[in-house]
Amino acid sequence: MLKAVILIGGPQKGTRFRPLSFEVPKPLFPVAGVPMLQHHIEACAKVPNMKEILLIGFYQPNEELTRFLFTSQQEFKITIRYLQEYAALGTGGGLYHFRDQILSGGPQAFFVLNADVCSEFPLPEMLAFHQEHGDPSSLVILGTTANRTQSLNYGCIVENEETNEVLHYVEKPGTFVSDIINCGIYLFTPDIFQHIAGVFQKNQIFFELQDEEPANGWHRAAAIRLEQDIFTALAGQGKLYVYKTLSFWSQIKSAGSAIYASRLYLNRYHITHPERLACNQDGGPKISGTVYIHPTANIDPSAVLGPNVSIGTGVTIGAGVRVRESIILHGASLQDHCCVLNCIVGWDSTIGKWARVEGTPSDPNPNDPYAKIDSETLFRDSKLTPSITILGCNVTIPSEVIILNSIVLPHKDLNRSFKNQIIL
Amino acid sequence: MCVCVSMKALILVGGYGTRLRPLTLSLPKPLVEFCNKPTLLHQVEALVQAGVDHVVLAVSYMSDLLEKEMRIQEQRLGIRISLSHEKEPLGTAGPLALARDLLCDDNEPFFVLNSDVICDFPFQEMLQFHRNHGNQGTIVVTRVEEPSKYGVVVFEAEGGRIQRFVEKPQVFVSNKINAGMYIFNPSMLQRIQLRPTSIEKEIFPVMAEDGQLYAMELQGFWMDIGQPKDFLTGMCMYLQSVRQRAPDRLCTGPGFIGNVLVDPSARIGENCSIGPNVTLGAGVVVEDGVRVRRCTVLKGARLRSHSWLDSCIVGWKCSVGQWVRMENVTVLGEDVIVSDELYLNGANVLPHKSITESVAEPRIIM
């Protein structure tokens, strides 16, 4: 019997996703037409013997999350529960805190997935790999290849190429260690908790020695990071293995990476969910490449959409509109002849006639098969780095203006063109 | 009303017209169409209407195209057009001396015009004014808002006798500047030698001292259209003048806003919004859903659907792609292709160029 745990973080995390994360918890942000988490849940629910899915995070219970859990359970016919941390406990601390819940029913193993990754989720392959490598109590990390420069931004894994054992693990090293990086998707056995317990006790002693209030010490000790604290210690001990995948993978940290992830998932729909892809029809808009359109959207036949476009519920798109490489969230209205490129248009926003709303993509180098999307800083040399244009919820863009490489906060009515700015 | 009989005019055409590049890389400046008619023709036709039958073009760069076009216009207008070619630079006065033989064969005064000037040409009034004061020269002056950017003319309110010229004055002395249109008596040519000479700096001040130079105030609009920004401003002024004089020449109806001049052979699609202040040349095609404002679109150009243009000059035979946005005095030279969905902001594009990337900040594309 198997379980899956998805680490969904909390509001203090994901600030790079503002202003979109003001409206909806990042794990519920729609990527390729469905909430980010749904891709994880779909993949987990498909694994035979999957008993339940546990979400661990520190979001307060809210309407969207509750509704999402409810509809997902109905749709995928599997138990899904949300376990709320009382404080940010780190990627390992949360697991440890809820170990009883995770182990109840006696699963042989359980997957752990980070919510903010986009992946093909080769979970059955990881299971098969686990059976063939190491002993039944060993742990598996899903790894992929990055280019040398970008690997420094991730957890780096040095493996024994014959046995696939992890010999060495470093999180975000300063110098090159390995081009195999940690995907944030793991297969653990109940043994993991002994390892975490070891670290937890060490932390407790360490913080008590620091002469702190025992209460604070307990708090600090409980914040355990899987990567830095557990993997680094376990590397080279015959307990940790890496399963390398060639399938697509990306982090989703910023709005730009949400558009990139959308593209990866939309392309995957050809195989997994062809019914989610729009196609050219009489009386419908012209579709170029992979496009998702919610059935309740209202689109003029002279519009041209795609590639890599997701259209949400109740969206209205007027005559002669062009949308490319963008996510249009529900209720938005795009008026005649406007042009939307490399952009996320927030819920219920309006774009006026002939307006041009454009961002700059931050895609990885298409000529490098191992290139990953850059986690760019917002500013460089005191100037805003050109990036995806984001319109928060309920933003109004007047006719005939240009909004270029800008971020507009929610409920804003613009009255002129803007370029390379954050508009509060 | 004084009728000019058998008068002559000298138009200072000059050289390569570099300020109006990239357009002047394809055609000599006098032949670039301003509001659907070559600039030169605006002046020549007005001169002919005022009775001029011999026009001399003072050029420093000889163009076959210009010669050929002038032969055609000679036939069409029934006048004589000569070309006076300065082989070395003669400044702004030297060309007059060079053309002395052409200008002096009778005793009638002659017009001199700067070729970049556009206005409601007042040639009959100029002649009347000139004959009334009976002196050697008349300069037309026009009123400007910021006189300190130019050289200003100080003259007596009664009669118009010019007292002096002041270059870029620091304090206000006058708001009238030289409008680039003159009448001179042939005797004035004795003042000019055949060498590089500035008419403003060397000839006029002396004539003013001699009490021989008078100023006539121009009524109505005036513009020097020698560079793209001013070319567009001049277009707006000219179209407004057409609205007042001959409103039937302009286009009205759904989809047209303000003053719009369209060649009969141009084609406009559905759901467009054209104007105010737009000129569409012969054979121009504007596809569906296009918005154009404050632009000149030259012969044979095509604006593809859903594009948006503001304050641009689109050169001959250009193709502007779908959903393109162009603004801020973007100038496309002849035969430029702009790919779909791009943004051009103040781009100055040389002829025969293919643009496949946006230009977010003003620059020149070679």
User: Quick check: B163 and B156 in contact, CB under 8 A?
Assistant: yes
Q: What is the DSSP letter of B248?
A: G
Residue B221 at interface with chain A, using a CB cutoff of 8 Å: no
Interface of A with B (CB under 8 A): 319-320, 322, 324, 336-337, 339, 341, 353-354, 356, 358, 400, 402, 404, 419
- Which of A200-209, B136-145, B152-161, B189-198 has the least mean pLDDT? A200-209
- Contacts of residue B271 in chain A, CB cutoff 8 Å? 319-320, 336-337
Q: Catalytic: B299?
A: no
Question: Is B291 within 8 Å of A358 when comparing Cβ atoms?
Answer: no
B292 CB neighbours in chain A (<8 A) are none
pLDDT tens digits, residue range B105-133? 788 999 999 999 999 999 999 999 999 99
Contacts of A352 in chain B (CB under 8 A): none
Give me the residues paired with residue A356 across strands: A339, A402
The pLDDT of residue B4 is above 80: no
- Residue in B288, B323, B343 nearest the CB of A322: B323
Q: Which residues of A touch B341 (CB under 8 A)?
A: 322, 324, 339, 341
The CA-atom distances, in angstroms, between A327 and each of A23, A259, A360, A372, B150 are 15, 7, 14, 20, 54
**Residue-level pLDDT at A22:** 83
In this predicted structure, what is the pLDDT of residue A23?
Answer: 84
| Cβ pair B343:A402 closer than 8 A | yes
Assigned token pair, A311: 């259209």
Fill in the DSSP letter of residue A351: E
Half-sphere exposure for B184 (CA within 13 Å, toward CB): 24
- Concatenating the DSSP letter of every residue in B7-69 gives EEEEEEEES--GGGTTGGGTS-GGGSEETTEEHHHHHHHHHHHTTEEEEEEEESS--HHHHHH
Q: Examine the pLDDT at B316 and tell me if it is beyond 80.
A: yes
Q: Nearest chain A residue to B310 by CA: give it.
A: A400
Please say if the pLDDT value at position B354 is more than 90: yes
Whether A322 sits inside 8 A of B341 (CB atoms) is yes
Residues of B in contact with A341 (CB under 8 A): 341
The residues that bridge with A275 in the sheet, in sequence order, are: none
* Nearest residue on chain B to A342, alpha-carbon basis: B341
- B206 in Cβ contact with B2 (< 8 Å): no
Give the contacts of B200 (CB within 8 A, at least 6 positions apart): B92, B151, B165, B178
Closest CA to A184 of A217, A157, A222: A157
Q: How far is CA B4 from the centre of its chain?
A: 23
Q: Between vectors from CA A360 to CA A355 and to CA A362, what angle results, nearest 5°?
A: 155
What residues have CB less than 8 Å from A164, skipping those under 6 apart? A129, A133, A241, A242, A243, A244
Which residues lie across from B256 on neighbouring strands? B274
Q: What is residue B46's predicted lDDT score, i.e. its pLDDT?
A: 96
Residue B2 pLDDT grade (very low, low, confident, very high; cuts 50, 70, 90): low
Q: What is the pLDDT of residue A217?
A: 44
Contact with chain A for residue B61, Cβ under 8 A: no
**Is B291 in the A-facing interface, judged by CB distances under 8 Å?**
yes
Amino acid code (one letter) for A321? V
* DSSP secondary structure string for all residues of B120-166: ---HHHHHHHHHHH-SSEEEEEEE-S-GGGSEEEEE-TTTTBEEEEE
The residue type found at A97 is H
B360 and A419 within 8 Å at the Cβ level: the answer is yes
Whether B353 contacts chain A with CB within 8 A: no
Is ipTM > 0.85 here? no
- Average pLDDT on B308-331 reads 98
B341 shares contact with chain A (CB less than 8 Å): yes
Name chain B contacts of A356, Cβ cutoff 8 Å: 308, 323, 325, 343
CA distance B270 to chain A (A): 11
Exposure string of A185-205, with b = 16+ CB inside 10 Å and e = fewer, is: bbbbbeebbebbeebbeebbe
How confident is the model at residue A72, as a pLDDT? 95
Backbone angles phi, psi at A348, to 5 degrees: 60, 20
Span B198-221, mean pLDDT?
A: 94
Q: Are A24 and A8 in contact (CB under 8 A)?
A: no
Rounded to the nearest 5 degrees, what angle is found at the Cα of A70, between the Cα atoms of A39 and A291? 35
Residues A356, B306: C-beta atoms closer than 8 Å: no
Q: What is the pLDDT of residue A216?
A: 47
B239-284 pLDDT, tens digit per residue, is 999 999 999 999 999 999 999 999 999 999 999 999 999 999 999 9
Is residue B356 within 8 Å of B338, Cβ to Cβ?
no
- The size of the A-B interface in CB pairs under 8 A is 43
Quick one: closest CA in A to B287, which residue?
A: A320
Beta-carbon separation of B308 and A336 below 8 A: no
Name the residue of chain B whose CA is nearest to A339's CA: B323
A114, with CB counted inside 10 A (0-12, 13-18, 19+), is: buried
Cα gap A411→A396, rounded to integer Å: 8
Q: Which of A300, A354, A405 to mutate to test the interface with B (most CBs of B within 10 A)?
A: A354
Judged by CB atoms closer than 8 Å, whether chains meet at B341 and A419 is answered as no
Chain B residue whose CA is closest to A404: B360
Please pick, among B68, B168, B229, B299, the residue that the annotation labels catalytic.
B168
Q: How far is A26 from chain B (nearest CA, A)?
A: 31
What does the pLDDT look like over A365-416, one tens digit per residue? 877 777 888 766 677 777 778 889 999 999 999 999 999 999 999 999 999 9
∠ CA(B287), CA(B292), CA(B296), 5° rounding?
A: 100
In tens digits, chain A (424 residues) has pLDDT values of 999 999 998 887 667 788 888 888 999 999 999 999 999 999 999 999 999 999 999 998 888 899 999 999 999 999 999 999 988 888 888 999 999 999 999 999 999 999 999 999 999 999 999 998 878 889 999 999 998 888 999 999 999 999 999 999 999 999 999 999 999 999 999 999 998 888 878 777 776 666 555 554 445 556 788 888 899 989 998 899 999 999 999 999 888 899 999 999 999 999 999 999 999 999 999 999 999 999 999 999 999 999 999 999 999 999 999 999 999 999 999 999 999 999 999 999 999 999 999 999 888 887 777 788 876 667 777 777 888 999 999 999 999 999 999 999 999 999 999 999 988 8
Indicate the pTM of the whole model.
Answer: 0.86
B chain contacts of residue A305, beta-carbon cutoff 8 Å: none
Q: Residue A340's closest chain B neighbor by CA?
A: B341
Q: Give the residue from B268, B296, B262 showing the smallest Cα distance to B282.
A: B262
Contact A322 B306 (CB under 8 A): yes
Kindly list the residues from chain B whose CB atom is less than 8 angstroms away from the CB atom of residue A385.
Answer: none
Residue A354's closest chain B neighbor by CA? B308
Distance CA B344, CA B328 (A): 9
Lowest mean pLDDT among A215-229, A320-334, B58-72, B327-341: A215-229
Question: How far does the CA of residue A260 sit from the closest CA of chain B (Å)?
Answer: 20
Cβ atoms of A187 and A146 closer than 8 Å:
no
pLDDT tens-place string over residues B150-161? 789 999 999 999
CA atoms within 13 A on the CB side of B115: 27
Phi, psi (rounded to 5 degrees) for B288: -65, 145
pLDDT of residue A218: 46
